[in-house]
Amino acid sequence: MPSPSAQARREELKAVFHQAKGCTRCPQLAATRTTVVFGSGNADADLMFVGEAPGRQEDLQGVPFVGQAGKLLDQLLAEIDLTRGDVFVANVLKCRPPGNRDPHPAEIDACQDYLFKQVELIEPRVICTLGNFATKLLRGDPTGITRLRGRPEVRVVGPRAVRLYPIFHPAAALYTPANVEVLRADFHRLPELLALDPPPQPQPQPAPEPEQPVVPEPEAAREPEAEAEAARSAMQLGLF
């Protein structure tokens, strides 16, 4: 089955965006958010960044990574000759948790379909998971970012195989200046990862065949032995 065209994928991504704008799967988040922060950037990007959740400024502006963490992200992208327009940036949650608390497991479960659909439609080669929540979700494993950062691996995310590259979240790196240099070093490996051949995609699973209804044998076609057995059963049940 041929892959959808870039234009068709963009149109479907717009449809997912409009669906997410009115999402009420998490009643508390729907009640306290200012806007849904769906994600932004190039809908055909080879490189995608996935963070944790929108913060206050993102919630107000509807765009991910617009505060100090966003400035650091832009700076590190510029150092490898990329801009926001070359990549796509999204979060695990599309709504800001009240007080910037950690996402709840039920919220991640409710929101993950939007992210998986973004990955399916954008078709990135490399996904940088920024911090613990994105890394654990897209790897399907509880191992933390400290053990995994800077170690690329091929993983299936939703229906697509991608090269997953866990790195520190820029906001966390800002709290520990030494980690900014670690993050910079990890960013400088991105051109090398993007130059690799894309990972082979998993074969689509065939749709299960519908079960065939069992057609009862016509009464006239019953063998004499079957008729006799039916009569004995009926007698045992008191039907005669």
Nearest to 137 by CA among 124, 155, 121, 122: 155
pLDDT over 70 (residue 15)? yes
Per residue in 72-105, pLDDT tens?
999 999 999 999 999 999 999 999 999 999 999 9
Q: Determine the Cα–Cα distance for residues 112 and 114; give it in Å rounded to an integer.
A: 5
Considering the domain delimited by 7-195, tell me its CATH architecture: 3-Layer(aba) Sandwich (3.40)
The predicted structure's pLDDT at residue 225: 53
The pLDDT tens digits of the residues spanning 155-185 come to 999 899 999 999 999 998 998 889 999 999 9
Tokens coding 10: 């963009």
Tokens 């709504």 correspond to: 95
Q: Where are the domains of the chain?
A: 7-195
DSSP-derived 3-state class of residue 203: coil
For the chain, the first-to-last Cα distance in angstroms comes to: 60
Torsional sign, CA 71, 72, 77, 79: positive
Non-local (6+) Cβ contacts of 39 within 8 A are: 64, 88, 89, 90, 91, 94, 118
102-149 per-position pLDDT tens digit = 999 999 999 999 999 999 999 999 999 999 999 999 999 999 999 999
